[in-house]
A and B are shown apart, each in its own frame.
Chain A
Amino acid sequence: DTEVTQTPKHLVMGMTNKKSLKCEQHMGHRAMYWYKQKAKKPPELMFVYSYEKLSINESVPSRFSPECPNSSLLNLHLHALQPEDSALYLCASSQEFDRGRRGDGYTFGSGTRLTVV
């Protein structure tokens, strides 16, 4: 398995709702990432998990709460979002984050397109 799977593919939520995005990989990668991408803009890093521990939070508002239950799963819990949070949310994984490994590119999922109404 060489894929990163994200669910759901599309999500519409109200500003008072609580929802979660899910990401899964079975490549044995020990680093996982959340990116946010607005229309016609490049992906922006939100969070980095390395060995199931949060390594980097790029000053993301607390209404976004990441969780890494095990080495294969990464969740992003959403609460009290704003319409401007509507975007494509991308998950990625790599073999390592802070240690060099040969050919250590990122593998991205296809994303969850989130609309906040």
Chain B
Amino acid sequence: DAKTTQPTSMDCAEGRAANLPCNHSTISGNEYVYWYRQIHSQGPQYIIHGLKNNETNEMASLIITEDRKSSTLILPHATLRDTAVYYCIVRVNAGGTSYGKLTFGQGTILTVHP
């Protein structure tokens, strides 16, 4: 799986948008971008994933650059409960679906403050 690079930590004010970047410059055509987060003392939680188009769900939006070498996870209105470690992961894709190992990098510690 391609390696990802994320900032070690970020801060965000409550109610503002949190934009978390991820660099995956060696991503190949058969790899999806996945985002998970881990709130303290809990298991990781799936947020969103995408291949090359922008994606949105009830939790977040995912913006993937046209060359697919980087992406941004957007939490539109961050709350204190969004304080967590956010992991950007690339994972093999086959036939429009993804499978295989989920390998975590160091992630970004997002702190949302009042």
Q: Please give the residue numbers on chain A whose beta carbons come within 8 Å of chain B beta carbons, in ascending order.
A: 4, 33, 42-45, 48, 56, 88, 90, 92, 94, 96-111, 113
Contact = CB atoms under 8 A, between A and B. Distances in A.
Given A42-B106, A100-B95, A108 B44 contact: yes
By secondary structure, the B interface counts as loop
Categorize the interface residue count of chain B.
20 to 34
A96 B85 CA distance: 26
B5 to A, nearest CB: 13
Contacts of A103: 97
B99 A97 contact: yes
Interface of B: 34, 36, 38, 41-46, 49, 85, 87, 93-107
A92 B94 contact: no
Contact of A100 (B44, B49, B99, B106): B99
B100 A97 contact: yes
